[in-house]
Amino acid sequence: MVKRAGRDTAVRIDKRTATGIGCLVTIGIVLTLMIVTFHAIAGGDMPANPFTTVGVVLELFFAILTTSTYASVVFGSHSRRRFRSYFLWMLALNTLGLLSDVVYWGIGLDFLPFFPQIREAAYYICYASAFPLLIFYSTYLISYINEDPKELRRYAVLVGGLSADGLLLVVISIFTAHDAVQPWRLQDYPWLYFFFLALPMVVVITIILNFRRMLTNRKAISFLCYELLVAAAVVFDTIIGEITLAHVVTAFCLIQIYITVQIDYEKQQEEQLLQQRISIMLSQIQPHFLYNALTSIRALCRTDAHKAEQALTDFTRYLRGNLNSLSNTGCIPFLQELEHTKHYVDLEKVRFGKDLTVLFNTPVTQFSLPPLTLEPLVENAVRHGVMQRRTGGTVMVLTTEDEENVRVSVVDDGVGFDSAQPAGPAGEHIGLWSVRERLSAICGGRMELQSSPDHGTAVTLIIPKGRKEERT
């Protein structure tokens, strides 16, 4: 990891450190519970039903696995930030459910002060965690499909509403279980709990079946297994009564989803980013640009050898910057991208002279961004903006910041274009589209575009602070 100065760097380091500490603390708690449990078993202090002991041991084992998976996703993932966060919430909630159920069975934990109250709280946490977990699972699935936002949004609202009803059932039980006149306890009505849990699960299964075409067979099976196996585990727990395997099965299914969906998605993202980096690099090294640059340098050799030497230096550094971008899998310092951009500008000034003016007002520099993001914007402003006017024009590069984001703006007074025109890999403005996609995928940023014919163009990159910096 490369150390960087600045407030945002400290935030990044703190977040990574906090995540690592959190995982270590969780594993420490699991190991402590495991030692206490095995010590109690060795001493003969164990439930009458052996299924309970088996269930507790399995829950402790899978708690370690889910915590390890959490750490693996945090420190090794490059996937879309929001998509990844849903999966992390699922892992965290299920780990909470596993540990809560271990405490509820309380093997070897009766020495704790206020143990009955702790045990009761753990019971409700265990059962309540299933509903927000289901909400995040459905949101994760919907985020992965991401075909028809309006229809999927309706599904998400329905799952959220039904899960909220189930969570309300648990809350009601907390406040009515100790009613002296007419107590109402959730544990006395296990099938009612299953009913409220099954309703949103049916909706999720409907989502999988309706959008089956968007999933491979392996991924569809993984998503369905989560619903069906968890439902079967809840039924089993309800019938047996002395064992809780729902969270164990959930952990198993989450690990399966991690292998079949999350890792595969991350590989696809990395391959897509690699292809985008290659495409954008090739788009920057176009034959006509090389020809024009070399022609200008040759002309300078006859009139001003010193300027020709400087232009040749800028040219070689420009090419090196494009080639180096292929080896960068994350973000690079802004100053590095700015220097690369200035090499390009110097080359264009050799050709266009006084017709081209590029101004840099960049007081904010201590941040990172994906490689080849600023330079394509400036090149787009020069080639398709100001140099389309007979008299040339001006391009301005600005950086600002607030508490949450850093903004990089490229503004020109060129011919402009209709910003409502679709941009994409098969349409016009592919360079802008590529920058937008890579900015979102690599650092969770976004791009804003304002343009109209004959009124110039303004492109702004919005980069969140507190992002992980990577250099390779």
Which of the listed residues 271, 302, 332 is the one where a domain comes to its end? 271
Shared-domain flag, residues 113 and 258:
yes
CATH number, domain of 403, equals 3.30.565.10
Shared-domain flag, residues 207 and 330:
no
The C-alpha atoms of residue 419 and residue 433 are separated, in whole angstroms, by 12
In a domain, 13, yes or no: no
Shared-domain flag, residues 304 and 443:
yes
The verdict on pTM exceeding 0.75 is: no
Residue 59: which H helix or E strand, with range?
A: helix 50-76
pLDDT digits (tens, 9 = 90+) for 289-299: 666 777 777 77
Shared-domain flag, residues 316 and 235:
no
Which residues, other chains included, contact 238 with Cβ-Cβ below 8 Å and sequence gap of 6+? 190, 191, 194
Shared-domain flag, residues 23 and 81:
yes
CATH number, domain of 240, equals 1.20.1070
Query: In DSSP terms, which residues pair with 423 in a beta bridge?
Result: 428
More confident residue, 181 or 217: 217
In a domain, 368, yes or no: yes
In a domain, 14, yes or no: no
The pLDDT value recorded for residue 266 is 66
Shared-domain flag, residues 31 and 119:
yes
Shared-domain flag, residues 365 and 251:
no
- 420: how many CB neighbours lie within 10 A of its CB? 7
SS3 assignment, position 455: coil
In a domain, 2, yes or no: no
Shared-domain flag, residues 56 and 116:
yes
Residue 137 reports pLDDT greater than 50: yes
The pLDDT value recorded for residue 401 is 92
Range of 253's domain?
19-271
Confidence of residue 278 (pLDDT cuts 50, 70, 90): low
More confident residue, 12 or 243: 243
Which of the listed residues 220, 236, 271 is the one where a domain comes to its end? 271
Residue 101 reports pLDDT greater than 70: yes
For the chain, what is the domain count? Answer: 2
Which of the listed residues 271, 304, 338 is the one where a domain comes to its end? 271
The pLDDT value recorded for residue 305 is 78
Shared-domain flag, residues 262 and 307:
no
DSSP line for 268-301: HHHHHHHHHHHHHHHHHS-HHHHHHHHHHHHHHH
pLDDT digits (tens, 9 = 90+) for 160-216: 899 998 888 888 888 887 776 677 777 778 888 888 888 999 999 988 888 888 888
Shared-domain flag, residues 52 and 190:
yes
CB 245 within 8 A of CB 58: yes
Question: DSSP character for 387?
Answer: G
More confident residue, 263 or 261: 261
The C-alpha atoms of residue 259 and residue 255 are separated, in whole angstroms, by 6
Residue 421 reports pLDDT greater than 90: no
The pLDDT value recorded for residue 74 is 79
Shared-domain flag, residues 252 and 340:
no
